[in-house]
Amino acid sequence: MDIMQESLDLHRKLNGKIEIKNKLQINNMHDMSLAYTPGVAKACLA
């Protein structure tokens, strides 16, 4: 099998090669509010 076919097969098997994951597990509205409040920029400025 050539490298091109092997690469395409891997791409199909994994349904892509890049994944984005949360650092914070969101289980409820409270968790979501902690992560995305209107004042969330204060954490960036700290």
1-46 pLDDT tens trace: 799 999 999 999 998 889 898 888 999 999 988 888 777 677 777 7
Domain boundaries, the chain: 3-41
Q: How would you label 13-35 residue by residue, b for 16+ Cβ within 10 Å and e otherwise?
A: eeeeeeeeeeeeeeeeeeeeeee
Determine the residue type at 8.
Answer: L
Q: What is the DSSP string of the chain?
A: --HHHHHHHHHHHHTSS-----SS---SHHHHHHHS-TTTHHHHH-
- Contact between 26 and 20 (Cβ < 8 Å): no
pTM, to two decimals: 0.43
